[in-house]
Amino acid sequence: MQRVLAAALLLCAVSAVTGCIIVGDPTCSGGGAAVVVTPGVVVVAVGESFTPNGSDSWCDGGHQSHGSPYWSLSQPGDTMFVKLDATTGRITARRTGLATVVASSRHSSATSEIQVTIR
């Protein structure tokens, strides 16, 4: 369990320039969960695609388990600006604007957001 926290912190340190968000309790002391995404902010040109990194960790019977988060858009209107693959998190820019991508745990209420600017 401490290895998961150390790995998440190392991931944040390596990606300090692009940003990192940890939400939840990555230890199983309180039975929590965590969603880790990098980067926290993305700038994409119209027609281009980008796939962020995401990790979903949760407690299962006192043991840490891992998987991929579920990806969604914060607002229905964000579909005007980006196309999002809910399984992989791949973001494809459609038109100039702003959108918010949400990475959600499949096993808890933990979430994390990525701010997307389309130019």
Q: Please choose, from the candidates 52, 46, 42, the residue with its C-alpha nearest in 3D space to the C-alpha of residue 94.
A: 46
- Bridge partners of 92, per DSSP, are 49, 83
Residue 2 is which amino acid? Q
CB neighbours of residue 59 within 10 Å? 22
Q: Which of 34-38, 59-63, 92-96 has the lowest mean pLDDT?
A: 59-63
79 is in which domain, residue-wise?
Answer: 2-118
Mean pLDDT of 27-55: 86
Q: How many angstroms separate the CA atoms of 23 and 36, rounded? A: 7
Q: What is the pLDDT of residue 63?
A: 67
70-114, pLDDT tens digit by residue? 999 999 999 999 999 999 999 999 999 999 999 998 878 889 999
With H, G, I as helix, E, B as strand and everything else as coil, classify residue 15.
Answer: coil
Nearest-angstrom CA–CA distance, 25 and 46: 36
How many domains, in total, are found in the chain?
Answer: 1
CATH number for the domain harbouring residue 21? 2.60.40.1380
Average pLDDT over residues 1-14: 44
Higher pLDDT, 117 or 66: 117
